[in-house]
Structure 1
Amino acid sequence: MGMVTFVDETTAGERLGSVGVSVTEERLPLRELIRRRVGQEAPGEGADAAYERALEAFGRNGFLVLVGERQITELDEVVRLAETTEVTFLKLVPLVGG
């Protein structure tokens, strides 16, 4: 069993918060990591809708996901989880008028 720490960060390097989640798996696809992250924020009935919105946002480059120092670009990419793994959700801000 390991611990995944989900970190929300802005492009300015500001960390908006983090939460640790225990995992039993050694590998998970990115989409499952997103599901678990969303589940921390929107538990219950709203979690499915929030998960779908998160997948859409990822698809349109609304945020990047870094596992350690490596960017994960595909939802089905399987991520190897160490005993402690940091997963950063880097929120991208669109350029105004650009």
Structure 2
Amino acid sequence: MATVTFVDESTAGARTPAWALQIFEERLTLRELIRRRIHQEVAEHNAASPEPRRLLVQPTSTERALNGDRGEQPRRRVDPQRQIALAEQAFRGNGFVVLVGDRQVEELDDEVDLRRDTEVTFLKLVPLVGG
């Protein structure tokens, strides 16, 4: 079993905190690795719910009408299949590159070796101004 650590970076220097995912296979295509990452992220997003409002003093109906009741808005669900399609399109369009360890993976169907502590970096390419 491999622990794959995902890191998002951009050529502008931004870096998000890393997070890990357990994967049982030793080899996967980049397409499958992206699919699993997105499924995990979407599942976590869709499962999260805003904290119920537990206010000591509740707003009156007039206050709610004027200000809106922001705590009652339903969370928008995300479709994982759509996100996967968008990610594959971005990869093919050079929106980002993927590094597994120190090796760049160039095709979605390329297989990658997953070892015990594999780091996968998604490097978002930021276009140059005027270019």
| TM surpasses 0.5 | yes
**Equivalent-residue separation in structure 2 for 1:41 and 1:94 (angstroms):** 26
Cα RMSD (Å): 1.4
Which residue pairs with 2:35 in the alignment? 35
**Equivalent-residue separation in structure 1 for 2:30 and 2:126 (angstroms):** 22
Q: Percent identity?
A: 57
Higher normalized strand content (fraction of residues): 1
Work out whether 1:53 is the aligned partner of 2:86. yes
List alignment gaps of at least 5 residues for structure 2: 47-77
| Greater Cα radius of gyration, structure 1 or 2 | 2
Higher normalized helix content (fraction of residues): 2
**Equivalent-residue separation in structure 2 for 1:31 and 1:96 (angstroms):** 31
Shift of residue 13, structure 1, vs aligned partner = 3.8
The letter of the residue matching 2:125 is L
Query: TM-score when scaled to structure 1?
Result: 0.91
Which residue pairs with 2:111 in the alignment? 78
Q: Deviations over 1:9-66 (max 9, x none)?
A: 1114432122100010000000011112222322366111000000000000000000
Which residue pairs with 2:123 in the alignment? 90
